[in-house]
């Protein structure tokens, strides 16, 4: 724990002391005091009140110039569990004859992160659509693009119209996993959720006022191009808070170092990477950061039913297709999926990491992608912001710039800081094909042979994992993976969100 004792620097007093004997005694006394303070803090000469490098006070307009918070407590996102830093073996862990050969085994490590305990539900999605419908009442295109595709339940040789008409909208299915959403729609939901949780936090802190959706819609009706001015977004949080402070007749924060760290959530909601999802699915307890054993499913053993526990004896651990015409789950509320908390959770407290619905993950698919990815936080799918977009994010940190000066500073960033090199699409990087095996070359579609073109997987194709109500037990193994284009959807694919952790381990 950092000490709150102020550290006094000798240079600020030395000119006031002229007697050298006094100076000598004072130095000796000051050394003892500093040593005691350092021992008390346990961190050497570190203070939360003064700079240990310059001596100026923090957060004191009469004595210093730097406003900063030095005490940090990370927020735990609602509905999420924390997954600790880990190193584990990822990839195929069952009979290689019967398993897909697109996820070779190798050891990886991952930073700590958060992940939803439950799959996103129909109720969660209806909340999202209700917000869009209220705010963008004059822009129905946004609402239409957010609606799930309920026709995914239709089948040429089955009568599934009750699912089409009721599954998403009926109250009976509120806590069932949402389906019929594409990868792109899932990403949009994650962005929306980020903005709403941060907006709620700032309202609770008294930094902005709650505005009902009708009021926001009226403002947008008269100024349709000013969405960022009336709709809170995390990317423009500082500007939004400054504007709200003026509206609330509070001292403006313009020109000050407005620090929202710790007030906002550490990171944005997003889909989990394949490595994060796979590790979380197993739920194996780590010992000193290492996994001592592996398993086939998100539960111990190779059985699909619970044995040895009197309370759950004989119960299935997941819903899936046992055989032709034999689905597990159809007897629950007369549907094929089940409520997101129906089966027992794994050791991390995560529900339905096998069965119910498959889940989107962030990675683009390559059959051999896992042989070449980085050993730490492995992920395929990086598309870095272009120079101009990244420059804008820097300029947003200086909200007082007028348009002319902003253009000038943008040129400075691009010319003198070299931000023109920050953009890049690395989804194809060392993707395992014949051409990219030659050194560090990257295969581009225009350079591919006809055979390679026929076998290449598009960069818009993403992985989904976990098995579903209509899959055989093979797909309940977290190591197994399949893929679908980001603009397509299915009645057996849903998702859950993740969030990167900043500042180390947190306790739920």
The predicted pLDDT at position 445 comes to: 53
pTM for the model stands at 0.80
End position of a domain, from candidates 425, 448, 481: 425
Taking residue 216's Cβ as centre, other Cβ atoms within 10 Å add up to 19
Q: Give every CB contact of residue 46 below 8 A, 6+ residues apart in sequence.
A: 2, 3, 52
The answer to whether residue 303 is domain-embedded is no
- Amino acid 386: pLDDT: 61
Q: What is the pLDDT of residue 23?
A: 40
**Is residue 366 very low, low, confident or very high in pLDDT (cuts 50, 70, 90)?**
confident
Name the percent of the chain lying above pLDDT 70: 74
Segment 298-322 shows an average pLDDT of 84
Is the residue at 44 inside a domain? Answer: yes
- Name which residue leads in pLDDT, 264 or 396: 264
Please give the residue range of the domain that contains residue 16: 1-71
Specify whether the CB–CB gap between 194 and 269 falls below 8 A: yes
Q: Is residue 182 part of a domain?
A: no
Residue 491 pLDDT level (bands cut at 50, 70, 90): very high
What is the pLDDT averaged over residues 404-408?
A: 86
pLDDT for residue 349 is more than 90: yes
Q: What is the mean pLDDT of residues 371-386?
A: 73
Q: What is the pLDDT of residue 39?
A: 43
pLDDT band at 314 (very low <50, low <70, confident <90, very high): confident
Establish if 404 belongs to a structural domain: yes
| SS3 readout for 364-394 | ECCCCHHHCCCCECCCCCCEECCHHHHHHHH
* Residue 167, Cβ density class (10 Å: 0-12 exposed, 13-18 middle, ≥19 buried): buried
**Displacement of CA 224 from its chain's centroid (Å):** 29
Let me know if residue 36 belongs to a domain.
yes
Query: Between 504 and 240, where is the model more confident?
Result: 240
- Predicted pLDDT of residue 278: 92
Range ranked top by mean pLDDT from 36-45, 163-172, 228-237, 456-465:
163-172
In a domain, 359, yes or no: no
Residue with the larger pLDDT of the pair 53 and 98: 53
* 36-50, 118-132, 254-268, 362-376, range with the lowest pLDDT: 36-50
pLDDT tens-digit series, residues 221-255:
888 778 888 999 998 888 888 888 887 776 554 44
Using pLDDT thresholds of 50, 70 and 90, give the confidence band for residue 7.
very low
Task: State how far the Cα of 283 lies from the Cα of 299, in Å rounded to an integer.
Answer: 8
Which of 66-80, 306-320, 476-490 tops mean pLDDT?
A: 476-490
Statement: residue 331 has pLDDT above 90? no
CA distance 290 to 129: 42
Domains contained in the chain, number: 2
Based on the number of CB atoms within 10 Å of its own CB, is 47 exposed (0-12), middle (13-18) or buried (19 or more)?
Answer: buried
Query: Which has the closest alpha carbon to 379: 185, 189, 21, 113?
Result: 113
What mean pLDDT is predicted for residues 368-389?
Answer: 69
pLDDT band at 96 (very low <50, low <70, confident <90, very high): low
* Domain-located, residue 12: yes
Q: Work out the pLDDT band at 164, boundaries 50, 70, 90.
A: very high
Range of weakest confidence among 76-90, 108-122, 456-470: 76-90
Model pLDDT, residue 41: 44
Looking at residue 13, its pLDDT comes to 32
Residues 372-394: what's their mean pLDDT?
A: 72
| End position of a domain, from candidates 24, 41, 71 | 71
Classified as helix, coil or strand, 265 is coil
Lowest model confidence (mean pLDDT) among 52-66, 123-137, 247-261: 247-261
Single residue among 53, 71, 89 that ends a domain in this structure: 71
Higher per-residue confidence, 357 vs 432: 357
Q: How confident is the model at residue 149 (pLDDT cuts 50, 70, 90)?
A: very high
Residue 25 falls inside a structural domain: yes
């Amino acid at each position: 724990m950092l000490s709150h004792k102020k550290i006094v620097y000798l240079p600020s007093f030395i000119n006031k002391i002229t007697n050298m004997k006094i100076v000598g005694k004072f130095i000796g006394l000051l050394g003892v005091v500093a040593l005691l303070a350092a021992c008390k803090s346990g961190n050497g000469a570190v203070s939360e009140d003064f700079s240990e490098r310059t001596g100026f006070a923090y957060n004191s307009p009469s004595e210093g110039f730097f406003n900063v918070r030095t005490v940090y407590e990370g927020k735990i996102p609602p509905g999420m569990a924390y997954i600790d830093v880990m190193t584990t073996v990822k990839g195929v862990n069952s009979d290689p004859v019967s398993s897909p050969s697109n996820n070779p085994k190798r050891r990886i490590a991952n930073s700590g992160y958060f992940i939803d305990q439950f799959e996103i539900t129909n109720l969660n999605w209806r909340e999202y659509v209700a917000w869009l419908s209220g705010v963008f009442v004059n822009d129905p295109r946004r609402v239409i693009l957010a609606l799930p595709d309920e026709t995914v339940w239709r089948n040429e040789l089955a009568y599934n119209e009750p699912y089409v008409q009721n599954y998403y909208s009926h109250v009976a299915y509120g806590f069932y996993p949402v389906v019929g959403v594409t990868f792109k729609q899932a990403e949009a939901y994650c962005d929306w959720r980020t903005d709403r949780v941060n907006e709620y936090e700032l309202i609770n802190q008294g930094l902005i006022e709650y505005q009902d959706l009708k009021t926001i819609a009226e403002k947008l009706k008269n100024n349709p191009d000013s969405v960022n001015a009336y709709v809170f977004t995390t990317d423009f949080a500082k500007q939004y808070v400054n504007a709200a402070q003026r509206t609330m007749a509070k001292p403006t924060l313009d020109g000050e170092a407005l620090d929202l760290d710790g007030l906002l959530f550490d990171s944005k909601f997003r889909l989990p990477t394949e490595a994060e999802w796979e590790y979380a699915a197993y739920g194996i307890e780590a010992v000193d950061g290492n996994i001592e054993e592996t398993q086939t499913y998100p539960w111990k053993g190779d059985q699909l039913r619970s044995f040895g526990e009197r309370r759950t004896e004989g119960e299935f651990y997941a819903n899936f297709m046992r055989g032709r015409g034999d689905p597990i789950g159809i007897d629950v509320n007369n549907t094929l999926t089940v409520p997101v908390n129906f089966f027992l959770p794994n050791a991390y407290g995560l529900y339905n990491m096998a069965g119910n619905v498959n889940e989107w993950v962030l990675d683009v698919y390559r059959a051999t992608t896992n042989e070449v990815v980085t050993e730490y936080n492995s992920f395929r799918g990086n598309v870095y912001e272009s120079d101009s977009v990244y420059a804008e994010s820097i300029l947003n940190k200086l909200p007082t710039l007028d348009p002319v000066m902003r253009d000038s500073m943008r040129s400075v960033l691009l010319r003198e800081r070299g931000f023109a090199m920050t953009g890049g699409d690395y989804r194809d990087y060392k993707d395992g094909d014949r051409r990219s095996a030659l050194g560090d070359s990257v295969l581009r579609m225009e350079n591919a042979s006809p055979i390679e073109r026929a076998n290449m997987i598009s960069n818009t194709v993403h992985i989904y994992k976990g098995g579903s109500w209509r899959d055989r037990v093979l797909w309940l193994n977290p190591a197994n993976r399949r893929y679908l284009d980001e603009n397509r959807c299915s009645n057996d694919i849903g998702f859950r969100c993740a969030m990167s952790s900043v500042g180390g381990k947190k306790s739920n």
